[in-house]
Every structure is written in structure tokens, then in C-alpha cells.
Amino acid sequence: MDIVWQTPANPPERHDYIFRNGIRYVKPYYFEFISHAKNRWAGKTIVDLFADEFKGRKRDYYDSAVKSGRIQVNGKTVSVSYRVQSSQKISHFVHRHEPPVMASNVTILHEGEDVLTVCKPASVPVHPCGQYRKNTVVGILQAEHDLAPLFPIHRLDRLVSGLLILARSASQAEIFRQQIESGLVQKQYIAKVVGEFPEEEQVVNLRVNFNAREGRSTVEAEDMDENGNSRLNGKAACTKFTRICTNGKYSIVSCHPITGRTHQIRVHLQSTGHPIANDALYLPNYDISGSRRAFTAHKTAVKSTHSLEVNSSDNSVSQSEESIEDFEIDPMCTNCPNLAPIGYDGSEEGLWLHCVRYSGPDWVYECPYPDWASLT
């Protein structure tokens, strides 16, 4: 098989994407993962190292990958009994399958010389991370609009939608960073929450403690010792909430985070007794099947737009179902013949949390409200 290996230097291209039933997939591609041996890896056989450290595949696979040259050390094929030394370059050549995302367009809101703002769809990560590389906002903008390099100046969680600001240069990104660190930037989100949110402004001052292993945050009330030092592990966090409207069952709430902790808005809303209405992580007894039904409805709606041509007014991109291409099935791949990697079926719903506004000393950027913000 004539294989062309990609590295992070290979830019995403428009033909890399496959659209099926309202879902954006990345056509699987051959990729070189590179790592350098840690001190604690030294002395392990190459197969033991992978079996112990990278448990996503079975030992038999790693045995075959070493024998076939899919796993190399310092650019050379080694035996399965080879013992790794510290700092050696270890390459793992894989048939890479990226997780799918919703097929919503990354809509350009403002394109300037120094700054680009877009409306980020839910389910799409901002930049390469984990198993995502091309199925990211930065990757899609490069592939579909030839916009690169881009420097995101703030983060939005993968399931959060809305305003995303990207600098066009490292120097411009540094200006934004300094303003954010100096407390000169104000942020506004909206959320759809459970129940009738109080009419008066709610200010939540609860420390946020993020557990990376569990992937979720908890809140802690302040607890000081006799010297005025906190006894808690969480970071100080403050969010102001104002009700926009309610129908009794749900409320649309304006959220103004003063700090920027992981999942701050989500866990602070949970602490008020009004969690985000489709937040599977922070809503007790959340019905996942209901989320998947909603996602299915979204896929149907997106699919109906796939025959549209390019619209220059909103920068939408034509997504034709007829453009689907088959891809090479790799005999060693543990994910083939599926498009998505194992464990990713695309059945998830975007969080009802949306960034609508960022403002600084002499600038303001805004994003339209999403459809779910209407309670009529």
C-alpha cells in the first residue's frame, strides 16, 4: 500500500471532510504520532511500554505494529524485545480516525486585519486537542476559508457555542491576553436553565474545584483559617446572573463571569438550583435518551441544508451529500471500517450555553442568539 504519512505540518483541506446525516466527519488519514521517552519508560520493552501507557489498543496490536514498522524508535524499526532508553524519539504511525462533530457551519462574523470573530458551533473544539485535529474551528477555517495562522484569545468548551475571537498574529493575541489578565475584558453568555430563575440579580461567589480525572467541577463555600488563608483547594470564582425571560418551566439567563474557571458558569448555575436544562454533567437524573432525540432532530434539520450553495452574506459553506467519498480501509487499523473512532457515535447535543458578547477598553464583539434562546 502506497501510504502518505501526515504530520501536524500538513494543513487541513476542504476535501478532508465527509458529511453524512448532518454530521461532519474527517476522512481517516495516515498520521505520525511522536513522543519522547520519559525517564520512567527507560528499560521497558517497546511493546510493554505501549501496552502499559496507551491502553486504547490491545497488546496484540502493539506487537504487530512493532513487527511491521508502524512503531519505530529514532526513525528505525526495532524488535519487540527492544528496551527503550530515556529521551529517544518514538514514532507511532496510525490510520487516524477523528471524532465526528455537528455539521453546522463556522460562521464568520467579522474579518479584520488583526482580528477574526466567528460563531462557534456546539460540539466543535476550538483548536487541536486529544483526538481532534482537523475537526476543530481552527482546522475548518483553514480548510474552508484559507485563514491561517489564527490565535484564539479565549476558550469555549467543546459543547458550548457562540462568539469566538481569534487574533491574526501572535502580537495581537498578546495584546488581548494582557487586557484579559488585567481584568479589562467583560464577558457575557446566555443559558437556558431549569425552572423559574429569580427576577433579581444573583451573584454567586463560590470557589470552583475542577477534578481533571472526573472531568467535572464542584463548588466550595469559603472557609478561612485563623490567618485568613483558605482551607479549600478550589479557585476563587464569581458569576453574576440576570434573568432575561421565563415561561415557568425554563428561563433564559444572562451570565457574566467575573473570573474564568473551568465549567464555572455551569457549576455556579447548578448551585443556584437552576442548572442548564440539558447539561448531562451537572443536571441530576438527566435523560441522555432525550438528548439524543434532540440531536437527531438537529441532524435532520442540518441535512436539509446540504444542497445549498455558498452564501456570501453569512459565509456558509456548501455541504453536498453527493460529495461523500470512500476511504481506504487499513488492515491494521483498530477503527476501520467505521468513519468515527470507537466510542464516538456522534449522538450528543450542544449545551444550552452560548457566548454572546466580549468587550474591552476600546472594542466590542457580539454574536447572535441561538434558536433555543426563544421560549415562545
pLDDT tens, the chain, 376 aa long? 578 889 888 999 999 999 998 999 999 999 999 999 999 999 999 999 999 999 889 999 999 999 999 999 999 999 999 999 999 999 999 999 999 999 999 999 999 999 999 999 999 999 998 899 999 999 999 999 999 999 999 999 999 999 999 999 999 999 999 999 999 999 999 999 999 999 999 999 999 999 988 889 999 876 665 666 666 778 999 999 999 999 999 999 999 999 999 999 999 999 999 999 999 999 876 554 444 333 333 333 333 333 223 333 344 444 444 444 568 899 999 999 999 998 887 777 899 999 999 999 999 999 999 999 998 7
CA-nearest of 123, 121, 111, 129 to 167 is: 111
Residue type, 212: A
CA-nearest of 98, 93, 45 to 65 is: 93
The model carries a pTM of 0.84
The DSSP letter of residue 170 is H
Cell 483548536 belongs to residue: 127
359 burial type by CB count under 10 A (0-12 exposed, 13-18 middle, 19+ buried): middle
CA-based R_g, the chain, Å: 23
The count of residues in the chain is 376
CA-nearest of 160, 127, 132, 113 to 281 is: 160
Is 157 a known active-site residue? yes
Question: What topology is assigned to 29-96 in CATH?
Answer: 3.10.290
Q: At what angle do helices 59-68 and 46-53 cross, to 10 degrees?
A: 140
Residue 365 to residues 97, 145, 188, 329: CA-CA distances in angstroms? Answer: 35, 21, 11, 45
Instruction: Provide the pairing of β-strand 353-359 with 364-366.
Output: antiparallel
- The single residue of 63, 146, 157, 326 carrying the catalytic annotation is 157
Task: Give the helix ranges, DSSP H, for the chain.
Answer: 46-53, 59-68, 137-145, 170-181, 264-271, 288-303
